[in-house]
């Protein structure tokens, strides 16, 4: 059972545009929602994360929007650049236990010049 559903599977955005990736979760015990960026052949890098006590978090060009009632969260990349082309994974975890991450299936983003 996939507990974190991510969409779209792939995304092409023109340079300067807004990239939007969506995730939905099922487990109401999740209370930490990070986004990771992964380039080919590299490990994932933590991009930005949010806790459910806020509805939005912004760091530079990256913004997480969080809707607790809908159990959805999304990543917005403003002014997308070719260097943003990578695979993005949303994840969720519960602060209890070992905080194991449940990952979405990933979104391959291509920002065209």
Partner 1 sequence: GAVVSQHPSWVICKSGTSVKIECRSLDFQATTMFWYRQFPKQSLMLMATSNEGSKATYEQGVEKDKFLINHASLTLSTLTVTSAHPEDSSFYICSANRDQETQYFGPGTRLLVL
Interface residue list for partner 1 (CB under 8 A): 32, 34, 36, 41-46, 49, 89, 93, 95, 98-101, 103-106, 108
Q: How far is the CB of 106 from partner 1 (least distance, A)?
A: 5
Return d(Cα 26, Cα 23) in angstroms, integer: 10
Nearer to partner 1, 17 or 61 (CB): 61
Nearer to partner 1, 15 or 68 (CB): 68
Is residue 63 within 8 A of residue 46, CB to CB? The reply is no
Given the complex with partner 1, which of 11 and 108 has the nearer CB atom? 108
CB of 112 vs partner 1, minimal distance in Å: 20
- What is the three-state SS of 57-103? EEECCEEEEEECCCCEEEEEECCCCHHHCEEEEEEEECCCCCCCCEE
């Amino acid at each position: 059972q996939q507990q974190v559903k991510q969409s779209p599977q792939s995304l092409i955005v023109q340079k300067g545009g807004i990239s939007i990736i969506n995730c939905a979760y099922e487990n109401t015990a999740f209370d930490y929602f990070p986004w990771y960026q992964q380039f080919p052949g590299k490990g994932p890098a933590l991009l930005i994360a949010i806790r459910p006590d806020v509805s939005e978090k912004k760091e530079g060009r990256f913004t997480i929007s969080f809707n607790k009632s809908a159990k959805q969260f999304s990543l917005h990349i403003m002014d997308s650049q070719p260097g943003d082309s990578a695979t993005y994974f949303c994840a969720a975890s519960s602060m209890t236990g070992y905080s194991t991450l449940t990952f979405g299936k990933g979104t391959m983003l291509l920002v065209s010049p």
